[in-house]
Amino acid sequence: MSNLIIDNYPLTKEWLADLVKKKIGVKPKVGSCGILDNADLGFMSMIRKVQLHFDAEQELKHPNLPKNVVIKIASCAKLGEGVGSVGVDVNKGNAAAIMELFMHNTECNYYNVFRKYTDLPMKVPVIYCAAKAGDAEAPVPVIVMEMFEDCTVHDLIDGFDKDQLFKIVDEIVNLHIFSLTTEEWRSVLPDSAMRDTVDLFEAMVKTIAENMAKSPGLEIISKYIEKTFDKDPSFMTKFSDEYLEGKRKSVLTHGDLWSPQILWDKDDNIAGIIDWQVGHQGSPMEDLHRILSTGTSVENRNKLTKPLLDHYFEKLSAGLEEKGVKMPWTREEVDEEYNHCFSYGASITIFSNGIWSSSPILQTDGKPDPARISESFARCQSYVEEAVQVLGVE
């Protein structure tokens, strides 16, 4: 019987058992490896669940031992399939491999920062290993993390309701309290590999936007392209650089906060936020834009944006005051920041819908689901219409 956890990867059961012991002080026997629920929703990783077994004596002495861990290995195969379906070739110039590298490295960098804190205000997984290529901790680039047991992911199209949206804002506030009261996370600078793909990514987003604009109901995207890409093909990079260079006040941004990244416990509270592959120093409004543009109904977005921003301001102000830190934005500046983020937020929303349209995310029983696609596109249309209106005012 093979001692490898996953075929064709030099990760042995003994290696994993020693890794777990190093973290919790108890060595398990490593059991079977299986595919994680919702693993087909990821585009940049191969994700596996690995069972851990402890004997009765170990369990008696150490309650709450982990039953499983998650192994995450960088893999861009699904990205190529997703963007290829909308007319983009990410294999040109080895771009897909470069993206795979920088996204894995970025996630490792942030998880290794998080590992140093015992009192993180936000909910992130326990990390056993976050190894980049060449690291002594593992023979291949890999992340080994906590498995959130008995948790669920809310379906993208069902969308978040009012209570869930406020809980998400609470977690965004916790992330920003961490951002504004610590400094080490700022040492995580954009991976050099990422800079090599910036032009390609912006061209990719524009190509997807042009293709999406041909879809019935999404003609507004053409107007958005006129106001952004046609005026400045590098506007996305310049937006990001405003925060990286200190021209605008920044926080640690998750960067890809949508339904599958938020795990909910049996009481419908947030148990953890995962997948920090595109975390970065960015706008305090980026993650909220992502949630409101893709993860809830148009009615909820229109009705709840202001109350959610009020809640964000009040909770962040109170949380920072407890830490003896001054709130860096007035309530009016929060609104200004939210509006400023529309140009970038719309590009990511269009990009996401373009990829999702031919992926399992908007399928039922392996086939495109017109109702799911229609709902996602309706959210995209409404959000881009608002972005175009805001851009016109600016």
pLDDT in tens, 211-221: 999 999 999 99
Cα separation, 11 vs 8, whole angstroms: 9
152: β partners: 264
pLDDT range class, residue 393, cuts 50, 70, 90: low
Cite the beta strand spans of 36-171 per DSSP E: 45-53, 68-74, 127-131, 142-146
Using DSSP, state whether 107 is helix, strand or coil.
Answer: helix
Please, what is the angle between helix 298-322 and helix 162-181, to 10°?
Answer: 40
Cα separation, 68 vs 31, whole angstroms: 9
Cα separation, 288 vs 345, whole angstroms: 10
Torsions phi, psi of 154, nearest 5? -75, 140
Amino acid at the residue 287: D
* Beta strand pairing call for 280-282 and 251-253: antiparallel
Mean pLDDT estimate for the chain: 92
253: β partners: 280
Q: Quote helix, strand, coil % in the chain, to nearest 5.
A: 50, 15, 35
Torsions phi, psi of 148, nearest 5? -75, 110
Residue 78 reports pLDDT greater than 70: no
Which token pair is 29?
A: 């026997």
User: What is the pLDDT, as a whole number, of residue 98?
Assistant: 79
User: What is the pLDDT, as a whole number, of residue 92?
Assistant: 58
pLDDT in tens, 120-158: 999 999 999 999 989 999 999 999 999 999 999 999 999
pLDDT in tens, 354-381: 999 989 999 999 999 999 999 999 999 9
CB 255 within 8 A of CB 282: yes
Longest dimension (CA), the chain: 67
Cα separation, 283 vs 326, whole angstroms: 18
Buried b (16+ CB within 10 A) or exposed e, 265-276: eeeeebbbbbbb
Q: Which percentage of the chain shows pLDDT scores above 90?
A: 83
Please count the helices (runs of H) and the strands (runs of E) in the chain.
14, 11
User: What is the pLDDT, as a whole number, of residue 198?
Assistant: 83
Buried b (16+ CB within 10 A) or exposed e, 126-146: bbbbbbbeeeebbeebbbbbb
Cite the beta strand spans of 164-230 per DSSP E: none
* Averaged pLDDT for residues 175-185: 97
Tell me how far apart the terminal alpha carbons of the chain are, to the nearest angstrom.
Answer: 65
pLDDT in tens, 54-73: 999 999 999 999 999 999 99
Burial of 356 (0-12, 13-18, 19+ CB in 10 A): buried
Query: pTM, whole model, 2 decimals?
Result: 0.93
Greater pLDDT, 335 or 392: 335
Which token pair is 154?
A: 């809310």
pLDDT range class, residue 91, cuts 50, 70, 90: low
pLDDT in tens, 8-22: 999 999 999 999 999
pLDDT in tens, 201-253: 899 999 999 999 999 999 999 999 999 999 999 999 999 999 999 999 999 99
User: What is the pLDDT, as a whole number, of residue 102?
Assistant: 86
User: What is the pLDDT, as a whole number, of residue 77?
Assistant: 60
Among residues 125, 145, 106, 119, the alpha carbon closest in space to that of 252 is found at 106
